[in-house]
Structure 1
């Protein structure tokens, strides 16, 4: 794999921001073992996974704490890892427009700079914790771009998460009144994933499939079980898994690999 760190000025954020990108390239294992190593030819494009960090994190987390580069290599998958601060992947009330950045500007930049397919069936988004919510939010917000999304230990039911934090049952770094003008009115808004799904479905969009996984000892486990029921009730195509584990990188490293296996991967270059 080729590993690139790229800094560019974002109009959505109004400042320079970093992304890490891994791109399929021949490696020494393929040379030594005489495996197929044809990667570059006119028109070669690859499927792409946008991989989102959680609270307290940034674009470097997945590379530092997991084997994502190896998993991408095994599947000939481009992986793009951006930063979004503690924004909950929203256009913040007092802050930057992270939703616009992730759903519009970043894909346009990536598609213009790297050998990735523009087709919906070849574009996916995944994340952990806050990024697990962000992945589903991004996919539901832009169903014309993403065909599938992955949430690991995700705060999918943001209404329940907000209530739990307000009650002191869950701690969090979020400045809710900086993210939302009226956080107490999240329910029923576009930040509420169940409401957003119904809205987009009524508009006639083909909606993305969802892979949801959470550890049974995770503090957000009950929220995930509740979110699963809500998603299924409104007709979301959701694949749900739960396994022993807590809210940590051991769980996310193991299960991002399993989640990637769930994706409809070509494991080779695809059409534009």
Structure 2
């Protein structure tokens, strides 16, 4: 296994970008030159960057016995959307980045069934926004994702300068493709399999619970799990095990003592 730091110029964003890539052990890939290595795009949360999954979760240790590559991009505070202030992060990460990665690593699969995306908090929203807004990914996972702003309107209004730069305003957000439920309603073909977890003491729990119920009514293949837990890396570093176990890859979940049970 190797951890490779890639810097490239994004034509979409007009600036240099950084991404970390975990390359699987050649012994875990039947043929070192195989062109079908599965890929997991792993998205960070607010205040974080391309290094956070490596430094906080031990993802490199967790995947060392698998055949999956992991791509961890930086998205600043963009919420992984084409922002109101003119920066097209959605286009850069959902469309440009996979092409950049394939140019650097031509043996990474471009097949939908071998491409997955997951994230936490802001990145959980980003994973659903990109996974439902494109046809690139067969499996999409969220940990404590900001999947809805219902019940959180006060926080939106208190920081309108930031949120206005991202989504314009709540009125414009509602019914747009940036609203996960609306986007899910509009997607009728190539629906990905979905996974979602949120801690019951997390301030985003009700939002996750409500979105999960709606997605199931819409007929999505969704695995929604809960447990005790807050909005914290202690839980995310454990639950990424569960995401890896859920994905269609060669993965053996580590046996680690935890003080909570999944519901």
TM-score, scaled relative to structure 2 = 0.89
User: Counterparts of 1:7 and 1:263 in 2: how far apart (Å)?
Assistant: 28
Q: Deviations over 1:73-120 (max 9, x none)?
A: 222210000011111111011141100011100011111211211111
Match of 2:120 in 1: 128
Match of 2:142 in 1: 151
Q: CA deviation at 1:229?
A: 1.2
Q: Deviations over 1:193-241 (max 9, x none)?
A: 111122121xxx2200110001111111111111111211222211011
**8 Å Cα contact 1:24-1:39 kept in structure 2:** no
The alignment status of 1:262 with 2:262, answered yes or no, reads no
> Taking CA–CA contacts closer than 8 Å with sequence separation of 6 or more, which of the two structures ends up with the larger relative contact order?
1
User: Counterparts of 2:211 and 2:45 in 1: how far apart (Å)?
Assistant: 18
Match of 1:207 in 2: 191
Match of 2:129 in 1: 137
Structure 1: runs of 5+ lacking an equivalent? 27-35, 268-272
User: Counterparts of 2:28 and 2:113 in 1: how far apart (Å)?
Assistant: 24
**8 Å Cα contact 2:37-2:67 kept in structure 1:** yes
TM-score, scaled relative to structure 1 = 0.86
Q: Deviations over 1:112-165 (max 9, x none)?
A: 2112111110000000001001001110011x21001010000112x4265252
2:219 to 224, 227, 235: 235
Match of 1:102 in 2: 93
Tell me how many residue pairs correspond in the alignment: 250
Match of 1:58 in 2: 49
1:74 to 58, 65, 69: 65
Listed as ranges, the matches of 1:6-17 within 5 Å are 6-17=6-17
Match of 2:257 in 1: none
Change (3 A) 1:110 1:38: closer
User: Counterparts of 1:113 and 1:235 in 2: how far apart (Å)?
Assistant: 37
Structure 2: runs of 5+ lacking an equivalent? 252-263
| CA RMSD, 1 decimal | 1.9
